[in-house]
Amino acid sequence: MSEDKPDLDPQDFSDLRRLGHRMLDDMFDHIAGVRDRPVWQKMPQAARTALRGSLPRGPTPAAEVYDDFAALVRPYSTGNIHPRFMGWVHGGGTAIGMLAELLAGGLNANLGGRDHAPIEVERQVIAWSAEMLGLPAATAGVLVTGTSIANLIGVLVARTAALGPAVRAGGLAGGGLTAYASAGAHGCIPRAMDMAGLGTDSLRLIPCDAAGRIDLPALAERVARDRGEGRHPFLVVGTAGTVDTGAIDDLAGIAALCRAERLWYHVDAAYGALAALSPRLRPLLTGIEQADSVAFDFHKWAQVPYDAGCILVRDPAALTRTFAQQAAYLRREARGLAGGAPWPCDLGPDLSRGFRALKVWMTLRVYGADRLGSVAEICCDVAQALAARVDREPALERLAPVALNIVCFRARVSDEANAAIVADLQEAGIAAPSTTMIGGRLAIRAAIVNHRTRVPDVEALVDAILDNPLLK
């Protein structure tokens, strides 16, 4: 009978313990030796083929499965732990974050609700986040996968604030809501409008000034025009660090406009939020502390391993009005494990939720907020060094001001040649910038987000570009 059948734990932990220690040592070596490896290697077809197969019906020894991981997966990962990974906006991770993932996996806690310590850890992380950005101590929030979902939550909370909680049952019913963001806003903002049922056409993308910041008079004019035409402006999304160039909107200006116009003021600070920890960079974010809600990531500039996004909402009731539900099977009790209300499942769309907070909590405690602020400063200094080098090279041309940590530039060759140069750099494993379009031209885009990146890394990037035969 079932009593004879073993559970999934090892009968004897000694082999697994040895294997676990080997995994840990190997991953420490992997992180410590990152500079000796190419940034990225394309996965060979043989490795892709070796990963494929039908559902394994029977067991495979854990050591054999780990060997497959070591041979087929580990060498062909994204490469964002490497100091010369500069593509998109990727954090570098830390060994302490990795250990926190191990501990969280061991506890296997579900942070949807109930009365247990992991939720207290998340509450502390939310309180620290509010403190970091200058929001009130009572600010509510939850950790989510990333800023894309955090922005969606921001849009939903703003919608409920505009139309009242009845919208949750009755739907939008042609409410005519219109939202506003700069033309430099991340694509997850229109996607949030889409997913919220508001439609991307209801998002007004306002032009930017030469510095890439939302044009405030144009924003005010568009809000007035929409009101005049009988629509219902409800939300302005400010960006603290645009994805293309790192521009930061005039957040205090947006705050004032939102106050005057009674609009919800949300900030997408996906990576820029961490600038708040640097006394030197903090003034760039002035006005973020007035936000009704802020979305940002710990997996970017805070170097917490993927994934760890965060939504903060100034008025806790606005968040619960948007998400709280009553269900008999989730009854909150005054005592016992079902105590501890309010539960995080009332603050966002997820019911089952992992213990993301542990890796954030451990990162903030082990390094301290000041050290993370200095990581952001170093990244900005490295970006300035890259911009200065680009400006000195006649074969290169800079395409945007460098407000924070992103440098967009191009070689004075065709768009196709610039794209080929980037692919060459990636395939040679020398560096991994990405590309974007700036002013209709293809830009080589270097986002300095990794705490390991230093000036010689960006010098190596430029040297390799200048060495490319397409420039000869």
Ligand X SMILES: Cc1ncc(COP(=O)(O)O)c(C=O)c1O
Q: Name the site residues for ligand X (rule: CB under 6 A).
A: 89, 146-148, 186, 188, 239, 241-243, 268, 270-271, 297, 309
What whole-number distance in Å separates Cα of residue 288 and Cα of residue 298? 17
Q: How far is the CB of 381 from ligand X (least distance, A)?
A: 20
What residue number has its CB nearest to ligand X? 146
User: Toward ligand X, which CB reaches closer, 163 or 185?
Assistant: 185
- CA dihedral angle for residue 161, residue 162, residue 168, residue 173, rounded to 10 degrees: 180
User: Toward ligand X, which CB reaches closer, 209 or 424?
Assistant: 209
At residue 87, the 3 state secondary structure works out as coil
Q: Which residues pair with 232 in a beta bridge?
A: 177
C-alpha triplet 342, 343, 345: angle, nearest 5°: 130
User: Toward ligand X, which CB reaches closer, 400 or 465?
Assistant: 400
Rounded to the nearest 10 degrees, what angle do helices 216-228 and 251-261 cross at? 20
Q: How far is the CB of 289 from ligand X (least distance, A)?
A: 19
User: Toward ligand X, which CB reaches closer, 39 or 152?
Assistant: 152
Q: How far is the CB of 333 from ligand X (least distance, A)?
A: 35
User: Toward ligand X, which CB reaches closer, 226 or 249?
Assistant: 249
Q: How far is the CB of 184 from ligand X (least distance, A)?
A: 9
Q: Are 285 and 276 in contact (CB under 8 A)?
A: yes
Q: Are 462 and 391 in contact (CB under 8 A)?
A: no
Q: Which residues pair with 438 in a beta bridge?
A: 441
Q: How far is the CB of 409 from ligand X (least distance, A)?
A: 19
User: Toward ligand X, which CB reaches closer, 309 or 433?
Assistant: 309
Q: How far is the CB of 319 from ligand X (least distance, A)?
A: 19
Query: Which pair of tokens denotes residue 117?
Result: 């310590």
Residues in the chain: 472
* Residue of 225, 235, 221 lying closest to 175 (CA atoms): 235
Q: How far is the CB of 270 from ligand X (least distance, A)?
A: 3
User: Toward ligand X, which CB reaches closer, 186 or 451?
Assistant: 186
DSSP string of 241-300?
S-TTT--B--HHHHHHHHHHHT-EEEEE-TTGGGGGGSTTTGGGGTTGGG-SEEEEESSS
User: How far is Cα of residue 32 from the mean position of the Cα atoms in its chain?
Assistant: 24
